[in-house]
Amino acid sequence: MRTITHVLASGGTAEAARQSEIFDPNNGGVQGKVDLGDAKVLETAVQSALAAQPEWAATNPQRRARVMFKFKELLEANMDELAELLSREHGKVIADSKGDIQRGLEVIEYCCGIPQALKGEYTQGAGPGIDVYSMRQPLGIGAGITPFNFPAMIPMWMFGPAIATGNAFILKPSERDPSVPVRLVELMLEAGLPEGILQCVHGDKEMVDAILDHPEIAAVSFVGSSDIAHYVYQRGVAAGKRVQAMGGAKNHGIVMPDADLDQVVGDLCGAAFGSAGERCMALPVAVPVGEDTANRLREKLIPAIHALKIGVSTDPDAHYGPVINHAHKDRVEGWIQKGVDEGAELVVDGRGFSLQGHEEGCFVGPSLFDHVTTDMESYKEEIFGPVLQLVRAHDFEEALRLPSAHQYGNGVAIFTRNGHAAREFANRVNVGMVGINVPIPVPVSYHSFGGWKRSGFGDTDQYGQEGIRFWTKVKKVTARWPDGGGDGSNAFVIPTMG
């Protein structure tokens, strides 16, 4: 049985006082263990980062970009290995795992252009003989606390921009599937990154609190549930850190009467059930506008859901695989029962699903609810599993209010052929990311990712130019070069720009 341990700079050691089990979602058994660290382990990583970061910050952006280029090549060369490793611990099918890696790779590609992204501003002649310019400089040491559902993509969303801008970075991945994050760190070192600039520590709340409290860590990026995101944000800010904390979601898909329902059904099946629904950008709520639309959508959804194939993560024909572990399987099935108890109509029941030969696996079949109402807890909260809920809306205005009034504001989609309706919806909806006939509106790497309300705490989004801003601070310089011969009598007077 393999054991995953911390990745520290040379000379850094850590004793494993505690360990956590890594489960195989396909059969429910234990496939490995991971060492859980504490404040002492973190301190070892921080000291190595402090020693390495100044020289890395002084390395010109073009040379830092070359490391990113090499890392990109290594990711592409090792794609199959990484995808298999990810699927083995997470349970995603291989195609989903490769998508996970690819979306992280796209952020690394953006970071290959870091010299362009770091250019400051310059004003010549802002005053008599005065020039003003700005420069972006690294914060020092950053840290990332990442969730189990995207063990490749989200770490790269964080450490890519942080390292490219000249920071050292300490990654604390989920203890549920830590192998791919460890492998990413190893590949970064193979790409030429100096030791101490990227390290990986493992742990639970004890390690998280140590990160949030450490005075030498200047910024923390987090992705996880909203309650924990709020906790991370409050504790990190109280400790004087810059914090971005992305939380949960309950994304809605508005289905207008003129929508192409065949397209909608395909999109909903992929967005609601893909990756077993374990995505903050999943689409677990469909909002058909009008009873006729709702009835037609339901009629098409039922056979499409029954046609979904659930299989082990290595099955190339499976639409999705198991959830992460038995505890999460029980949680998802508990929410399904909650929906039944609240009075929603369970049209397709995914509980009790069993895969032949893998009866102990963590599988949950696809479920469909109809006549879900906004007062139900199963609607208010994130289920994070293969469950789709239909919430019927009478008209466009009601459909617009549903995602706008929800506690989460991560993503939303509208399906329509009407350009005016789509434009009006995108302009007015109170949600951070909007898709128009796009079910999972994750922005490309040169834009940015982030939700509103309880889906995101902090003022800066992930990756893109927003990520560059988060991991850097701006220094402003006002310069005047005397032509010589002056007595310097006004040297301490603040110059005016008039």
Kindly give, in sequence order, each residue whose CB lies less than 8 Å from that of residue 465, ignoring residues fewer than 6 positions away: 117, 446, 448
Whether residue 19 contacts residue 33, with contact meaning beta carbons closer than 8 Å, is answered with: yes
Amino acid at 482: P
Q: What is the torsional sign of CA 334, 336, 339, 340? A: negative
CA distance linking residue 231 with residue 410, whole number of Å: 18
Give the chain's end-to-end CA distance (angstroms, integer).
72
Whether residue 44 contacts residue 203, with contact meaning beta carbons closer than 8 Å, is answered with: no
Number of neighbouring beta carbons within 10 Å of residue 392: 21
Whether residue 383 contacts residue 276, with contact meaning beta carbons closer than 8 Å, is answered with: no
Whether residue 36 contacts residue 15, with contact meaning beta carbons closer than 8 Å, is answered with: no
Q: Which residues are catalytic?
A: 280
Cα atoms in the Cβ-side hemisphere of radius 13 Å centred on 65: 13
Q: Which segments within 235-294 are labelled E, that is strand?
A: 242-246, 252-255, 285-288
Q: What angle do CA 154, 155, 160 make, to 5 degrees?
A: 105
